[in-house]
Structure 1
Amino acid sequence: MAYTDDAVLSKLSALNETHESIATTAQWIMFHRRHASQTVHLWLTKLKDLPSAKRLNMIYLANEVTQQSKARHKEDFLNAFSPFIADATAVAYKGAPIDVQAKLRRVVDVWRERSIFDREILQDLDAKLAEIDRTRPAAHVGVFGSGHSLSSSSASSVPAELIALAKAQQAVAKAVQPMKTSLKNANTEYEKSVDPATTSAPLPVQAARLNGLLKTLANAEGAVTQCIQARRDLIRELEKILATNREALDSDEKQMMELSGRRTEVEQKRQTIERAIVGGLTTEELSGGAASGSPLPEPDRPQVEALTPPHVQDHVEDFHGNSSSAGHQPQNGQPQPTAFQGAAAPGDGQAAFPSSAPGIEILSNLASQYQAVPLNGSKKRKIETSDEFPDLGGDDGIDADVKEILRKESHSS
């Protein structure tokens, strides 16, 4: 068929979604690569006239032509498609169903992975698609994992950052059910083909059954491939969101450190001003001290009464009578007790004991001041009771209870 505008439009009108139709049309177009520029203009016009459901086939055709041209190092169609591919893809993307948009994004990812178009063209294309996603009403964005759309009565709308992820999730949900059905049919047909009962059928019948089984297996394989691709797209979108949030997290942590440093600086400044207020400094004095770098003087501490109790030595001296004579004067008309006269002073190396010590200890101390009486054999020298203890004269400050104990001890001996 000779190359004419009508021939090109006829080929484009007969294009369908099968790979055979797309490959055949692409080969015919590439054969007439001398008319690449005119072909691309006719292709763009036809794409805009088609309904949104059939525009995907036109993008598939452009993908086939450009990839084959790239592989064969023929730059004619690459140069012809480059100025229009971003706008054409955006036209096909806008208003398309969720699953069609996911397929279009997959084509764009293939162009990026294989470097079919320049980086600037792909960046412009990504910006156009992102703008379409942002302007899409929330009521038309699907919920994760469901085929229903959000309505005004929905609890919440999907954020703009998650629209692409929602589309990928919906594509997976739509691909899973056909895959399960195709797998079930393929497994059933395969089990029938290996059943011994079917081997007795005539050979033409067996051949027909095997042909049908091959088609069923091919359909199941295509459904599984589509589901795998949908899951890969979903994982890719998840990785994009994860990378974006990691970068945002690093930025937030840096801002947090900066704010913490500023808060510490302001707190120190506030404390400096408060100390200046307590110290009675003026603004000029505070500014001068800050300029010189010298720290502000600390305010004087308030005078407080000491709470330390008197030393215990003072009480010991009062107890032994070594304090001033004023300590022995009667108070309130009552005589004050004095130390035992027979006890040694604390400075003489002898242990002092209070007047209220038990009688046995007093008796032991008194006995230690006299020499022991020598014993001759088993006889003891009789000591007069009246001479056992010296006459100390009067009570000498001995307590009445102690005196009674001494009296009983002397009678018992």
Structure 2
Amino acid sequence: MATPTASTPPTMADGGRAMFAWLREMRETHPVREDEYGVFHVYRHADVLAVSADPAVFSSDLSRLRPDSDALSEEILSVIDPPVHRRLRSLVSQAFTPRTVAALEPRVVELAGQLLDEVEGSEFDLVGDFAYPLPVIVIAELLGVPPEDRELFRGWSDRMLSMQVDDPVEMQFGDESGDEYERLVKEPLKEMHGYLQRHVEERRANPGGNDLLSRLVAAELDGDRLTDRQIVEFGGLLLMAGHVSTSMLLGNTVLCLEENREIAAELRRDPSLIPAVVEEVLRMRPPITVMARVTTRETTIGSVTVPEGRMVMASLLSANHDERHFAEPERFDPRRSPNPQVAFGHGIHYCLGAPLARLEGRIALEALLARFSDIRITPGASFDYHRDGLFGVRSLPLTVRRG
């Protein structure tokens, strides 16, 4: 059995520089590290891919750790294994297709323009005024729920993201009997599920609509249909994870361009580079930095034996900075080719929302560059980063110039 290491990862308070250095050390000296809680952390790109590609050994069903827990549900696409996962993903994919996402482009362009029209003067908060409302309105309209309810959505996500714990197992489950877990996780989840349940019931009573909830209600595969709970869970996952991760992606894009002014200038000369810039931002600063799995049997990762029933935290951030796969990984290089970044995961749980995040990221950057001749982080502005497991800012004050 591996000996737990005492090394404690730094925070993201400096924008990731200390974390990048710490992860580089871990890849060299402890590529598979057992921490003081008995959780195994995986840092190298090849090992992260191996973990994500083998659901028979590395299960997404985290309830294996707490069989009596009600914090996770077998109805959630992201935490179930084959064969149930295959059936559920096939049903969801009938409604949430690449064509559905592509058809959103004109509306995303329109919304981005409208949000920037509301910016007055030369200063605004990128997150509050643009990077948060854009994806949440898009997803709300896609689902068929009122976009004006977005402050409800923000309240739910802010409460859940404010939960602070050190133990990765507790991060997934919390103390289910604790007041803080009740207030910050259970209550907002219950409110969100109840909200979406009412919309699903309305679609069942009035079928035939063209929004995503209506299409999920109508989806059928060999006589099998999605349950209300499955639709509610997927809608909640898309609403919460979709807007939070895309909001962080847009903030991270501006941060990367602030640090690489020559690339920002090149983008203005050649906007065709924008998709590659978004891809490199996803590598450099992935919004979701880890993925959790549970071993179904004793196994080996690298040269380390991992017992059955242990949580494995695979670092997407570290994999994206692994010098074994990326030359000069801490250099921002949109022309990097190939760019096998894993910001959206790998294997059967590859993020269904990846095409939508890429679409929104591209259009948002196009809109910002077209609207403003210069974009800078406001000198002296303070902003803080989300908690561990996420890589993004909660606010980002900008000073811009028009024309």
Shorter-chain TM range is under 0.3
Return the structure number with greater strand share: 2
Q: TM-score, normalised by structure 1?
A: 0.20
Return the structure number with greater helix share: 1
Q: Which has the larger radius of gyration?
A: 1
Answer 1 or 2: higher relative contact order, Cα 8 Å, separation at least 6. 2
